[in-house]
A and B are shown apart, each in its own frame.
Chain A
Amino acid sequence: KAGVTQTPRYLIKTRGQQVTLSCSPISGHRSVSWYQQTPGQGLQFLFEYFSETQRNKGNFPGRFSGRQFSNSRSEMNVSTLELGDSALYLCASSLGQPTLTEAFFGQGTRLTVV
Chain B
Amino acid sequence: AQTVTQSQPEMSVQEAETVTLSCTYDTSESDYYLFWYKQPPSRQMILVIRQEAYKQQNATENRFSVNFQKAAKSFSLKISDSQLGDAAMYFCAPRGGASGSARQLTFGSGTQLTVLP
Name A residues whose Cβ lies closer than 8 Å to a Cβ of B: 33, 35, 42-43, 45, 48, 55-56, 58, 88, 90, 92, 97-100, 102-105, 107-108, 110
Contacts and interface: CB of A to CB of B under 8 A. Distances in A.
Contacts of A102: 33, 35, 47, 50
Contacts of B91: 43
Interface of B: 33, 35, 37, 42-47, 50, 91, 95-98, 101, 103-110
Contacts of A104: 47
B104 A107 contact: no
A56 B42 contact: no
A103 B110 CA distance: 18
B4 to A, nearest CB: 10
A55 B44 contact: no
Contact of A100 (B44, B98, B110): B98
